[in-house]
Amino acid sequence: MTASAPATHRARPASSVTGTGSLLRVSLRAEIRSLAPWMVVPTILTLTSVLGFELLGRTEQERQALNQTIAGNPALGLIFGPAGDVSTLDGFNAWRGLAIGGFVVALGAILVVVKATRAQEDSGQAEFLAAGVMGRNARLLTALAMCGIMSLVAGVLSGVITALFGVGWGSSLLLGAGFTATGWLFGALAGATSQLAGDARSASSAAIGALGVLFILRGFFYAVDVPGWLIWINPLCWVQETHPADGGRWWPLALVLGLAVVLAAGAFALQSARDFGQGIFATPPGPDRGRVHSPLGLMVRLNRAPLIYWGLAFVGLGVVFGYFIQSVREILEGNPAMTEIFARGAASPEAMSATFVATIASLVGIIVSIPGVQTVNRIRTEELEDHAEPVLAGAVTRSRYFGAGMLVALGAPVLYVLIAGSVMGLFGMSAGIGLSFADVLLQTLAVLPAVWAVIGVAAFIVGVVPVARVASWLGVVGSLALTLLGPSLKLPNWLLGFSPFYHVPPVALDDPDLWGLLWVGVIAVGLVVGGFAGFRRRDIP
Amino acid sequence: MSDRLAIDVEGLDKYFGKFQALNGVNLQVPRGQVHGFLGPNGAGKSTTIRVLLGLLHADAGRVRLLGGAPWRDVVELHRRLAYVPGDVSLWPSMTGGEAIDLLGSLRGGLDETRRADLVERFELDTTKRGRQYSKGNRQKVAIVAALASNVDLLILDEPTSGLDPLMEQVFQDAVAEAVARGTGVLLSSHIMSEVEALADRVSIIRDGTIVETGTLAEIRGHARNTVHVTLENVDGLESVPVLHDLEVSGSQVHATVDGDHIGEAVAALTQRGISALTIEPPSLESLFLRLYDDEPEEQQEAANGPKAGNR
């Protein structure tokens, strides 16, 4: 404490969290765009519950039908959790939002925390900060604070806005509080995995993996009625146990918060035990020699993880949609809104089943086209990240490079459709609705030309006008909107016809009209060929 | 006839929207030679190289590479050349070894012995993932992949950015060995010593135009020598026409002199009684600095001089 020391440097005693305030302000400003979706999506989710309930449960009879359908469909329970009483708006909203909304906020929390901790260290950004006037724990504290604020805003926004639209205040706010608590818990978990893992990617994979496993276990526990104590080993079940629309208990959230605090404390302890840029566990060395020797091999390798995840997802979707097909009668009987969407214009019960399966197959098709469009966009990402340049500097033509990407983009959907179609076929053949395994599988395969047309739109955009890359999702978004909303908005047929899935006929009927599908196939080929021509001609950035 | 040349570019124009990146670029590189390609950031070095690689479409001009057309004959040409970009971006989850093998096989295979030798000399850990490498190590991955290939032409775009001086030396040795095997090299670089050590001829590009081409000796001939001299009598030096950039402080005089006027200058100085004299030959660095000096007058000189010299 010499008198000659400059006063300004002595003004505040330095601690391990010095600098957190200013870092938090800067980070929030820089990251607001990437935080926004996670804060808004839960509100969209709960608001659409209100809209959906208006649409599906207009009369008391419809509500009872809805209640029976949902309660009687174990596949829905696996994802959304136990139904409770969904014949009320509060109950419907809580059932639909609780698990999914919590999942979304938790996912956002994990990504935010990993990005602000390990990802920054991997990119070298954190070195700048660490070299500044910054306490040892400031960056981790900032990351957790950012995640805390994001989760809080997500929960409050959803709770308040949804209550303003007619859901009870008590249940809506408790539901929102559940979102917030789930976000805090998984943000703290990501804080801990960020200290353990060798790099950012492994850190987020570990946390997201834990979230996924706990999510599936939660659905499974409630679906099979496990002993009561087992419920209490899964933190996601604690949130479920708040029963927002059904009595409403706040205390289970205290357990969630307690665990979050323990995990956060663990994260700080682990951080002080590791070196900057190194995890507690190092990344193991990889292979010295490569086995990828061609553009196609490279494209498969780059899409390997998504190929596996989507393959598994389509087993799950097959189960969910399979249950739907099994309960086609209960779903459609007495619910004209559902019938309008899923089996429009069907006269006989057989025709109704066939049309219903065709619509379900189209939904599967629209979902299948999402990874397809992702793969096409990957071609563009490779260019933008300068990965395409060294490959194209090898003895590889543009067509071969683009073709390798397109082969994966168009070929993987065949696998996905076979997976989902087979699972759905197993459910369909045992449903006693006049459909065989082959009927369902063929129906699912029949959507492929439409899937390829949607992916063709993306191929055309990426090949010809890559600056308009967002437009590559036009096919997916348009098809989804026209298939799900079109019938209930009573749109004219020519407009519905813009969705390639509109032209998929129920193939189980006698003499299905395949001409429309043929044209869709021709358009798909044309779009892909146009994409090739564009990619061959344009500059690679 | 053009088969004598590995690279033969004439009147190359390239536009990005309205911006003209290349304006009538001429570049001739004979086979088996090392050609230095110098220029500041944004001058058009990488754009020229990307046209040579067939990644960008030329808007005007003639571009021949190893006797073929880079946009059309991609596969045949790229089997015979290897490329190292200035900022290597590796696939994050692929190891360096995997990337070397992939890039090698896309080109038609690697020389296994040379691959092993280069990995050892560059002290590269090939089992690390792309995202774990530092900038310099990413460069090494691309350099090993390129130099382990059997090719006729190496196109190197600032290949050593991020390498330490030790590795810089390993790189120069390895390129010299490639040249001894008969490989031609286009070496774009910022590092003058690297170009001086390796290059037979040099082209300098500025604002999308080649402003100077020739052997190092020729280019030195265009540049001025620096003269430091102590004189007994400094009067009337301003009137000696061959002395440029004259600075006089007491009896100390500093000036620059064109290479072919040194005799005249020394004669003029001798009359004033020399007590100490040093004449420094121009380094590539000083030439480079002169060419890129932002004063418009200098620019004018730089643009006019070499063109006259070339014809």
Determine contact: A123 vs chain B, CB below 8 A: no
**What one-character-per-residue DSSP string does B129-142 give?**
BGGG--HHHHHHHH
Token duo for residue A453: 């047309």
Q: How many CB atoms lie within 10 A of CB B152?
A: 17
Residues B108 and B195 in one domain: yes
Determine contact: A227 vs chain B, CB below 8 A: no
Partners of B20 in beta bridges: B15
Low-confidence winner among A239-253, A369-383, A385-399, B232-246 (lowest mean pLDDT): B232-246
The C-alpha of B154 sits at a distance from chain A's nearest C-alpha, in angstroms, of: 11
Q: Is B95 in Cβ contact with A390 (below 8 Å)?
A: no
Q: Given strand B153-157, what is the order of strands in its sheet? A: B81-84, B153-157, B184-189, B34-38, B201-206, B209-215
Domains identified in chain B, total number: 2
Residues of chain B by 3-state class (helix, strand, coil), percent to 5: 40, 30, 30
Which amino acid would we find at residue B206?
Answer: R
Closest C-alpha to B146, from B154, B157, B134, B136: B154
Determine contact: B131 vs chain A, CB below 8 A: yes
Instruction: Give the residue numbers spanning the domain of B150.
Output: 2-217
Q: Which pairing describes strands B5-16 and B244-249: parallel, antiparallel, or unpaired?
A: unpaired
Q: Is B78 in Cβ contact with A393 (below 8 Å)?
A: yes
pLDDT-derived band at A80, boundaries 50, 70, 90: confident
Residues B190 and B103 in one domain: yes
Q: Is B74 in Cβ contact with A293 (below 8 Å)?
A: no
For residue B104, being part of any structural domain is answered with yes
Report pTM.
0.79
Distance between CA A461 and CA A469 in Å, rounded?
Answer: 6
The C-alpha of B186 sits at a distance from chain A's nearest C-alpha, in angstroms, of: 15
What's residue A275's pLDDT?
A: 81
Closest residue in A to B14 (Cα) is: A539
Residues B97 and B157 in one domain: yes
CATH number at residue B229: 3.30.70.260
**Interface probe, candidates B50, B94, B106, B120, chain A, greatest A C-beta count within 10 A:** B106
Low-confidence winner among A26-30, A72-76, A415-419, B100-104 (lowest mean pLDDT): A72-76
How many helices (H) and strands (E) are present in chain B, helices listed first?
11, 13
What's residue B36's pLDDT?
A: 94
Residues B186 and B116 in one domain: yes
Q: Is B57 in Cβ contact with A285 (below 8 Å)?
A: no
Chain centroid, CA A187 distance in Å: 18
Q: What digits encode the pLDDT tens for the residues A198-255?
A: 778 888 889 999 998 899 888 888 877 778 888 899 999 999 999 988 888 999 999 9
Which of B97, B128, B131 is opposite residue A289, by nearest beta carbon?
B97
Which of B75, B85, B94 is opposite residue A397, by nearest beta carbon?
B75
Residue A440 has pLDDT above 80, yes or no: yes
Query: Has the ipTM of the complex gone over 0.85?
Result: no
Q: What digits encode the pLDDT tens for the residues B247-297?
A: 888 889 998 888 788 888 888 889 888 889 998 887 777 777 777 664 444
How many helices (H) and strands (E) are present in chain A, helices listed first?
25, 0
Determine contact: B55 vs chain A, CB below 8 A: yes
What's residue A378's pLDDT?
A: 92
Distance between CA B138 and CA A438 in Å, rounded?
Answer: 52
Distance between CA A279 and CA A281 in Å, rounded?
Answer: 5
Token duo for residue B155: 């196109």
pLDDT-derived band at A12, boundaries 50, 70, 90: low
CATH number at residue B72: 3.40.50.300
Last residue of a domain, one of B217, B239, B265: B217
Q: Is B94 in Cβ contact with A301 (below 8 Å)?
A: yes
Closest C-alpha to A340, from A479, A489, A476, A450: A489
Q: What digits encode the pLDDT tens for the residues A296-333?
A: 999 999 999 889 989 998 998 898 888 888 877 777 77
Residues B137 and B244 in one domain: no
Token duo for residue A301: 């390798």
What's residue B66's pLDDT?
A: 92
Residues B120 and B195 in one domain: yes
Backbone angles phi, psi at A251, to 5 degrees: -60, -30
Residues B233 and B99 in one domain: no
Q: What digits encode the pLDDT tens for the residues A17-73?
A: 888 888 898 888 888 888 998 999 999 989 888 888 887 777 888 888 778 777 766
pLDDT-derived band at A174, boundaries 50, 70, 90: very high
For residue B124, being part of any structural domain is answered with yes
Distance between CA A394 and CA A390 in Å, rounded?
Answer: 7
For residue B288, being part of any structural domain is answered with no
Determine contact: B133 vs chain A, CB below 8 A: no
For residue B285, being part of any structural domain is answered with no
Q: What digits encode the pLDDT tens for the residues A473-483?
A: 999 989 988 88
Residues B138 and B79 in one domain: yes
Which amino acid would we find at residue B81?
Answer: L
Which amino acid would we find at residue B172?
Answer: Q
For residue B233, being part of any structural domain is answered with yes
Q: What digits encode the pLDDT tens for the residues A260-280?
A: 999 999 999 999 888 877 788
What's residue B2's pLDDT?
A: 47
pLDDT-derived band at A430, boundaries 50, 70, 90: confident
